Chain A
Amino acid sequence: MAAPLELSCWGGGWGLPSVHSESLVVMAYAKFSGAPLKVNVIDNTWRGSRGDVPILTTEDNIVSQPAKILNFLRKQKYNADYELSAKQGADTLAYIALLEEKLLPAVLHTFWVESDNYFTVTKPWFASQIPFPLSLILPGRMSRGALNRILLTRGQPPLYHLREVEAQIYRDAKECLNLLSNRLGTSQFFFGNTPSTLDAYVFGFLAPLYKVRFPKIQLQEHLKQLSNLCRFCDDILSSYFRISLGAFSCVNRYQQQIDFGEVHSHDSTTRKLIASEWRHLSSWTRYGRCKSAETHTTCK
């Protein structure tokens, strides 16, 4: 009898089982390989760690980082790459490197660095998932980590301004999306008719970009033009996660801010109050005093 496998990860929204790319990669791989995972979504209790999520826990092991978790699952005989040839296995490694080098910086920027997106969507969402006062600290730390990673890996001379780095990383990301689309073509998955590790990674990176509603959406617009990649994400969602595509749709962006607490809340009024207080604070810094006064009144 296999030891129970528990996965701690960030929760879902906008029709996705998780909005966090790395968590989504692991969840998708588990579905593809048939690994029986018990998913523990991060919530507002103090149980479990949030820093290095996703984390896989078994009786004897704690494994973090998607690559290591997938390796561990393979060793436990949950192998989604069983039917791949050696060359296809090599191609998998290469395409994952392409995703991490060319697409990831722009995804991180879209979620964590682009101010409109971060203050109106990402920060409130992540803050609403965790207890106070961690909700004041962790999103900021994740944002700084993302900016750090972008600047340290891509911000080298002659790109001295963040704006130029941004331009370059979005150019690279669009090129990467085009390459993926060319590679996928009209196939259902990247290698044949069954999904593998590469499909899990591509889904994990693309699905949040595809589904989360952001104010600044240049990369999302580009992705939506690549219909085979969108079809790829929708197929996996409907086949493996059985989430209907109409779920969690929000009326408009402002309404969406209010919806966060309600879509993902438990019955804690305290939690809603904290979340609303946080939105109030975010609005204050982002939009200025007039708007915050309005929000304050509405939330109370």
Chain B
Amino acid sequence: MIIIRILHEQAFLQMCNLPIKVVCRANAEYMSPSGKVPFIHVGNQVVSELGPIVQFVKAKGHSLSDGLDEVQKAEMKAYMELVNNMLLTAELYLQWCDEATVGEITHARYGSPYPWPLNHILAYQKQWEVKRKMKAIGWGKKTLDQVLEDVDQCCQALSQRLGTQLYFFNKQPTELDALVFGHLYTILTTQLTNDELSEKVKNYSNLLAFCRRIEQHYFEDRGKGRLS
């Protein structure tokens, strides 16, 4: 989750041409006002999560979606919710509700900063919380195949919306592009027990090309791309 979120916000800030410095801190979660990482620290203000960061940056006079009309802004917000609704939930499901992934990767990774037995307790607690949330939104009884089908449907919608354009709206990137890039890049580059999730994304060549384009354009100074 941390990896995904860093990419959304970082991509957004770089698209705005704002100079940023990425700093890693072990107590980052506790420094953040919402408990979520990453967050931005500007002067004496601290803002976390993509939505508030976008609002903050907009208040300072930088916005990626000023050129959109009202109907396009509605569409952009709708597609952002689609990504949150389907992709984010599917990623959570795969991390915490797919027993194979949980056993082999998630538990160990989530509990790794903590000593025994805290590592197990916190991991189980997190898993219980996620399962509760899944049940509340109606994903409790979904199988892995159904979740993968939802991801496919979401990618298909994004691919159809993107078409042959460079970005989702006009020729300039918007918050939606940052969000989609963050999710797709993480899906494509994170190693899991099976590759089905990344295979679903790879079926859509325009989405792959989109991710490569953003990686090359905005992240090329961070070393060679991982999408080649």
Residues on A close to B: CB < 8 A? 65, 86-87, 89-91, 93-95, 97-98, 100-102, 145, 148-149, 152-153, 156-158, 179-180, 182-183, 185
Q: Which of B73, B132, B153, B163 has a CB less than 8 Å from the CB of A93? A: B153
Q: Let me know if A152 and B74 touch, CB within 8 A.
A: no
In the complex with contacts A97-B81, A183-B71, A87-B160 CB distance below 8 A: yes
Q: Let me know if B138 and A65 touch, CB within 8 A.
A: yes
User: Which A residues are CB-close (under 8 A) to B79?
Assistant: 94
Q: Let me know if B163 and A157 touch, CB within 8 A.
A: no
Pairs A–B under 8 Å by Cβ, sample size 24: A65-B138, A90-B156, A90-B157, A90-B160, A91-B75, A91-B78, A91-B161, A93-B82, A93-B157, A94-B161, A97-B82, A97-B86, A98-B82, A102-B81, A148-B136, A152-B136, A156-B34, A156-B35, A158-B34, A179-B78, A180-B74, A182-B74, A183-B74, A185-B71
Extra pairs beyond A91-B75, A180-B74 (18, CB < 8 Å): A87-B160, A89-B160, A90-B161, A93-B153, A94-B81, A94-B157, A97-B78, A97-B86, A98-B78, A98-B82, A100-B81, A101-B84, A145-B136, A153-B137, A156-B34, A157-B35, A158-B33, A183-B71
Q: Let me know if A179 and B137 touch, CB within 8 A.
A: no
User: Which A residues are CB-close (under 8 A) to B70?
Assistant: 182
User: Which B residues are CB-close (under 8 A) to A97?
Assistant: 78, 81-82, 84-86
Residues on B close to A: CB < 8 A? 33-35, 70-71, 73-75, 77-79, 81-82, 84-86, 132-133, 136-138, 153-154, 156-158, 160-161, 163
CA distance A179 to B161 in the complex (A): 19
CA distance A100 to B138 in the complex (A): 12
CA distance A65 to B158 in the complex (A): 24
CA distance A98 to B160 in the complex (A): 18
Q: Which of A90, A102, A179 has a CB less than 8 Å from the CB of B158? A: A90
Q: Smallest CB-CB separation from B134: which chain A residue?
A: A152
CA distance A89 to B156 in the complex (A): 10
| The 7 A-B residue pairs with the shortest CB-CB distance in the complex, in nearest-first order | A90-B157, A94-B78, A97-B82, A179-B74, A97-B85, A98-B78, A90-B160
Q: Smallest CB-CB separation from B163: which chain A residue?
A: A87
User: Which A residues are CB-close (under 8 A) to B153?
Assistant: 93
CA distance A156 to B133 in the complex (A): 12
Question: What is the minimal beta-carbon distance from B140 to any residue of chain A, in angstroms?
Answer: 12
What secondary structure prevails in chain A residues at the interface with B?
helix
User: Which B residues are CB-close (under 8 A) to A183?
Assistant: 71, 74-75
Question: What is the minimal beta-carbon distance from A56 to any residue of chain B, in angstroms?
Answer: 16
What secondary structure prevails in chain B residues at the interface with A?
helix
Question: What is the minimal beta-carbon distance from A147 to any residue of chain B, in angstroms?
Answer: 10
User: Which B residues are CB-close (under 8 A) to A182?
Assistant: 70-71, 73-74
Q: Smallest CB-CB separation from B154: which chain A residue?
A: A93
User: Which A residues are CB-close (under 8 A) to B157?
Assistant: 89-90, 93-94
Question: What is the minimal beta-carbon distance from B131 to any residue of chain A, in angstroms?
Answer: 11
User: Which A residues are CB-close (under 8 A) to B77?
Assistant: 98, 179
Q: Let me know if A152 and B163 touch, CB within 8 A.
A: no
Q: Let me know if A86 and B82 touch, CB within 8 A.
A: no
Question: What is the minimal beta-carbon distance from A116 to any residue of chain B, in angstroms?
Answer: 24
CA distance A102 to B84 in the complex (A): 11
In the complex with contacts A65-B138, A87-B161, A95-B78 CB distance below 8 A: yes
Question: What is the minimal beta-carbon distance from B40 to any residue of chain A, in angstroms?
Answer: 16
Q: Let me know if A94 and B75 touch, CB within 8 A.
A: yes
Question: What is the minimal beta-carbon distance from B2 to any residue of chain A, in angstroms?
Answer: 16
Q: Let me know if B34 and A100 touch, CB within 8 A.
A: no
User: Which A residues are CB-close (under 8 A) to B158?
Assistant: 90
CA distance A93 to B79 in the complex (A): 8
User: Which A residues are CB-close (under 8 A) to B160?
Assistant: 86-87, 89-90
CA distance A129 to B78 in the complex (A): 36
CA distance A163 to B174 in the complex (A): 32
